[in-house]
Amino acid sequence: MEETFITHLRQELQRSDYGSKHGDIQIWYNEAGDCIQFKTTDHIATRGKRIDEYLTLYVAIEDEKPIGFQLKDVHALIKEYGTAGMVEVEAGYISADKRLVSITATTLILIAFNKRTDSKNRIHGYERALRTVPRELDSLKIPVT
C-alpha cells in the first residue's frame, strides 16, 4: 500500500501541472498555533476533514475537492527530521535563541505521514493535501531553536 502511494506521489510531482496554480494564495506558518495553514481560496464554503493528529484537510462543501490543509505540531516534526537538511535564511537569526530556516511544506507533510502506520483514508488524505501545494509557494520560513 505504501509503495503504491510513493510511486503515485513521484509520478504526480513530476507532472508539469502538479499543485494549485492560483496567483493570490499563500502558505504560511502560524507561530502561535505552531502550524502551517494553506487554502487555495477563501471564496467558497469549506469544511475540515481531520485525517490524523497532524493533518486537517480543507475540502469544498459543494464538490469535496481539496482546497487546502492545516498541518499541526510543526516544531515536533522539524525536531524529528533535524535541521541538517534545511537552509538557514540570510540574516536568519531572529533572537539569541532562535534562527530562521527554510523548509518546504511538502517535506513537513511527508515527515508527518511517516509518523505512524497507514490506513487507506490516511494515505488518501495526505495525497490530497500534497496535491494542493503549488510548487512556487512550497517554501516556508520557520523560526527554530
Q: What is the pLDDT of residue 22?
A: 45
Give Cα 42 distance to the centre of its chain: 18
Question: How would you label 96-123 residue by residue, b for 16+ Cβ within 10 Å and e otherwise?
Answer: eeebbbebbbbbbbbbbbeeeeeeeebb
Q: What is the pLDDT of residue 40?
A: 83
Q: What is the pLDDT of residue 74?
A: 92
Dist CA 8 CA 62 (whole Å): 26
136 secondary structure, DSSP code: G
Q: What is the pLDDT of residue 21?
A: 46
Number of helices (H) and strands (E) in the chain: give both, helices first. 4, 8
Q: Which domain holds residue 98?
A: 2-144
**What is the tally of structural domains in the chain?**
1
pTM for the model stands at 0.72
Q: What are phi and psi of 126, to 5 degrees?
A: -65, -40
Give Cα 24 distance to the centre of its chain: 18
Dist CA 16 CA 65 (whole Å): 20
Q: What is the pLDDT of residue 133?
A: 86
pLDDT tens track, the chain, 145 positions: 566 777 776 776 666 555 544 455 778 888 899 999 988 877 778 899 999 999 999 999 989 899 899 999 999 988 887 766 666 665 545 566 677 777 888 888 998 998 887 788 899 999 999 988 888 878 887 877 7
